[in-house]
Amino acid sequence: MLIYTYTNAQNPISPPGIYLADPSARSWNDSTLYLYTSTDLSCDFWCSWKHDILYTSDMVEWQVAGNTFTSKGVNDEVSYNDQLLFAPDCAKKDDTYYLYYCQPDENNALGTATSKSPTGPFKEGRILNTGKKYSQIDPAVFLDDDGVAYLVWGQTNMKMAALKPDMRTIDTTSIKDLVLTKSEHYFHEGPYMTKVNDLYYIVYADESRNQKPTSLGYATSKTPFGPYTYRGVIIDNEGCNPGNWNNHGSIYNFKNQWYVFYHRSTHGCQTYRKACVEKIEFLADGSIPEVEMTTQGALPPLNALNKLEAERACLLSGKVMVENDRASNQKLTNFKNGDEAVYKYLNFGDGASTFKIRYCSPKQNKLLLFTGLGKERKKVAELDFVTSKEQDGWRVDTFSIQKLKGIHALTLQIQGQEGILNEIDWFAFSR
């Protein structure tokens, strides 16, 4: 097992060069929050042969436990070796942690593995018997107050069953089909089950918008097996990447604050996804107001005087996308005329009047800076980029701008000739 330490309080919370998707949030001692994730390795296929775990004690410093469970060459006990692993979840009973996983082979097998540690390594992989007629993908587990554990899974239609006390055997007599459906609940896949104030919640990839499962929706019931009532969207990741397709995540109360965990895609494709987080709240009727994607994530607006990596844009329009620059760094690339990157939110404090940026400009173009959104959007700078002549194409320039104060959304817009105009690594403001 490998451990990476990564200090970062802004989205995405996945470290540079590591793509962690489908975050399922769990905690057992209230001092550490664990996100059980899929690990993306390519634009050519979903996920990989391993599961990594992202965890934190303060929502600022994150660590990654790598190779905690793998179907390829490490944990020899795993059935169906060399099969890809999709969307895990975890539960604890007594002194044992149970990881639930999916291997999308010809059988779409669901499995479970165990460990004495929440970060693994998980071993003794075992396939669960759910009956061949059931679509078996994206399992999630919920251990209720009375000690009964429930497993939920499925695509288009969500299935559900109770687990036997050993946590590794499904009570096949309890299997229920059509707990959530596409037609009634906009259910696509990726269910996550929890309970808040005696109300059962299932969070899942929701197809109610854009004919794509870009939203995390939720449904509630007074009983575990339903019936469930559709309640709406918690967050929608549409606009995070030109190739974006799906969303998958969870909600959790950590140290008296509720959060939604979700992912955004990168590289202009559907995969290479990164885990993100936003604060949420519950209203008196049990509903969760929809929240927006931000750059700041779980903490207050970012200090505009600190260097901000360009790839942390929460919204992208046009063809611009996040790509790897090198193993430990990413960049915004493929800017064309009119393309934009949006950052929410930056705190300029008492004022900033200088803008510094590292960029690569193969063609002459301009950078426009805007503050605000929608009708409140205002152009605050129009800067002429210099065509790069350095050997590697990158340069750092500093520009004077009109003084900015307070908290704002910031938009970078590129204008210029046709074709690919620009790449941006980072930027920062100063007084």
* pLDDT, tens only, 368-416: 999 999 999 999 999 999 887 665 789 999 999 999 999 999 999 999 9
Amino acid in position 123: K
pLDDT digits 0-9 by tens, 183-230: 999 999 999 999 999 999 999 999 999 889 999 999 999 999 999 999
For tokens 């009570």, name the residue.
Answer: 171
**Structure-token pair, residue 406:** 């307070």
- pLDDT tens figures, 233-246: 999 999 999 999 99
CB-CB contact of 159 with 249 (8 Å): no
Question: Which pLDDT band holds residue 74 (cuts at 50, 70, 90)?
Answer: very low
User: How many Cβ atoms from other residues are within 10 Å of residue 218's Cβ?
Assistant: 26
User: Parallel, antiparallel, or unpaired: how do β-strands 123-127 and 109-115 relate?
Assistant: antiparallel
Segment (H or E) for 397:
strand 394-404
Could you tell me which residue, 178 or 420, shows the higher pLDDT? 178
CB 291 within 8 A of CB 234: yes
214 touches 236 (CB < 8 A):
yes
pTM for this predicted structure: 0.95
Instruction: Give the CA distances from residue 179 to residues 110, 186, 400, in Å, rounded to whole numbers and listed in that order.
Output: 18, 12, 58
Beta bridge partners of 356: 398, 428
Q: Which two tokens mark 65?
A: 């436990």
Q: How far apart are the first and last CA of the chain?
A: 45
Distance CA 271, CA 42 (A): 7
CA distances from 25 to 69, 96, 350, 368 (A): 17, 17, 37, 39
Lowest mean pLDDT among 132-136, 171-175, 283-287, 313-317: 132-136
